[in-house]
Amino acid sequence: MSRTICVANQKGGVGKTTTSINLAAALAISGQRTLLVDMDPQCNATTGSGNQPVGNHPLIVDKPIRSSIQSPAKHRDGFHLLPGSKSFNDSGVLAVSPKDLRSPSAGDTAAHRMASSDLVMSHLVDGASQYDYVLIDCPPSLGSLTRAALSVADEILMPIQCEYFAMEGLAQMISVIKSVMLERPGQLTFGGIVLTMYDQSLDLTHEVDTEVREFFGEIVFDTVVPRDVKVAESPSHGLCVLDYAPRSRGSRAYTELCMEVLERD
């Protein structure tokens, strides 16, 4: 049965896209048919995989998404990418300019925006059926794109950076997750929290680790992702860290995270 995992955190710079790319690659290496969906208008999951953003996001084009699925630059059996689009805004559809809103067809445009939100969800559900795992890289916000992803996901995976403001804004994120859970009883679960940019030498890192684990308990993954220059460098080469530096600490961490995800199936 397919598992759809929404990788989300409204706070930027926490390793969300890095985790999406590397966990997707690790799952594919383990033999799982995996699709990485780039829903972030920054398109970092797309470029970090060695591909280019597209003009119109496949999730709002009225044709099957299979025709838009790509292989990352480092081709690997079982790992596919649904590329992002820079014009894909947080309302779940293509951005509408002020000129469009003033035009006589503005009403039709508004109707298209609402219909497109449903189309996004329909495409995500359809695409998931072809894979063992679907990972959705969400924008760093609590807008409609993130909500749409949560509405079709089976679980949410939340990366948290080991820094002073790690807990900042989590209450809002958890509130949104709970509201989606109420809308879909028994369908969305909290898949886990992963601590990223972990620096063993810093007292602050250990303080954040302790605080997060005491508050969230068993849903926090045992695996932590260390600060590793190889992880930071790999996207500039269009590669996951498992291909760019397979013996690095970051590569080992994402392999271990993958094993934990598989164990929680």
Looking at per-residue pLDDT, the higher value among 244 and 109 belongs to 244
pLDDT, mean over the chain: 85
Would you state the pLDDT for residue 110? Answer: 42
Would you state the pLDDT for residue 119? Answer: 75
Ramachandran region, residue 93 (left: φ > 0; alpha: ψ -120 to 50; beta: rest): beta
Strands (DSSP E) along the chain, which ranges? 3-7, 34-38, 79-82, 133-137, 155-161, 189-198, 220-226
Tell if the pTM clears 0.75, that is, is over it.
Answer: yes
CA 226 to chain centroid, in Å, comes to 19
What residues does each domain of the chain span?
A: 3-263
Question: Is 3.10.20.70 the CATH classification of the domain at 3-263?
Answer: no
Q: At what angle do helices 170-183 and 144-152 cross, to 10 degrees?
A: 50
Reduced to 3 states, what is the DSSP secondary structure of residue 233? helix
Q: What is the dihedral of CA 32, 121, 219, 25, to 10 degrees?
A: 30
pLDDT in tens, 187-226: 899 999 999 999 999 999 999 999 999 989 999 999 999 9
* Cβ contact 55:87 at 8 Å: yes
Residue 68 pLDDT exceeds 60: yes
Ramachandran region, residue 159 (left: φ > 0; alpha: ψ -120 to 50; beta: rest): beta
